[in-house]
Structure 1
Amino acid sequence: MRRWIRECGRRTLGAALIRKGFVVEQRLRKRLDSARASARRLAMVARTRSEAGMSTAEYAVGTIAACAFAGLLFKIVSSPEVRKMLSDIISRALKLAG
């Protein structure tokens, strides 16, 4: 491209536009290279960092799930059928032990 500009002469409008386009292209390439380098650095930082723990939203969801499980477990254990079954198991264990 540079050779073509030299052959056409530097004073023609077409040559000036091509030269300007060439300069703009070089600037864009430099910015693109800089953006790619930044993206590589960010990717490297993201890969080297391990997840240290849960975020606030994850804590909230985990807490709600734990409370729901605890409520369900309490409801099951406090039902009359399960109470009877647990008391039978404990009484059998105590009879066997002594």
Structure 2
Amino acid sequence: MTNEDEGRAAAESEQESGTTGTGARVSADGREPSAGSAAGPPSERPDPEAGLATAEYAVATVAAVGFAGLLIAVLKSGTVRGLLENIISSALSI
């Protein structure tokens, strides 16, 4: 086997295993990932969903406050107040 054949065989082996001769991971196109990429074992990668629960709680809290404000505005209206007074007075007169 010539040096060229050995080099080609080593490159094919590296592509199949996903590593370079130094053991570094390579992407599907054969390039080594940059230092800032999410390479490494899954335990070392940042969680892509980290912080989502906090954002969901914030959105739900804002929605609840908005609904409470709307409910207070409706309950303070004269029409609703009259309906509630009629319901309470009819319930107490029974």
Q: Same fold (TM over 0.5)?
A: yes
Residues 27-86 of structure 1 deviation map (CA, whole Å, 9 limit, x = unaligned): 221127x88xxxxx96xxxxxxxxxxx622111111100000000001001101000000
The 2-side partners of 1:84 and 1:26 are apart by 82
- Give the structure with higher Rg (CA): 1
**How many positions carry a matched residue from both structures?**
66
Matching residue of 2:5: 18
Q: Which runs of 5+ in 2 are unaligned?
A: 20-24, 27-40, 43-51
More helix per residue: 1
Identity between Structure 1 and Structure 2 (%): 36
Partner SS state of residue 85, structure 1: helix
Q: Structure 1 stretches (4+) deviating beyond 4 angstroms? A: none
Instruction: Let me know the Cα RMSD of the aligned residues.
Output: 2.3
Q: TM-score, with normalisation over the residues of structure 2? A: 0.60
> TM-score normalized by structure 1?
0.58
| 2:83 paired with 1:85 | yes
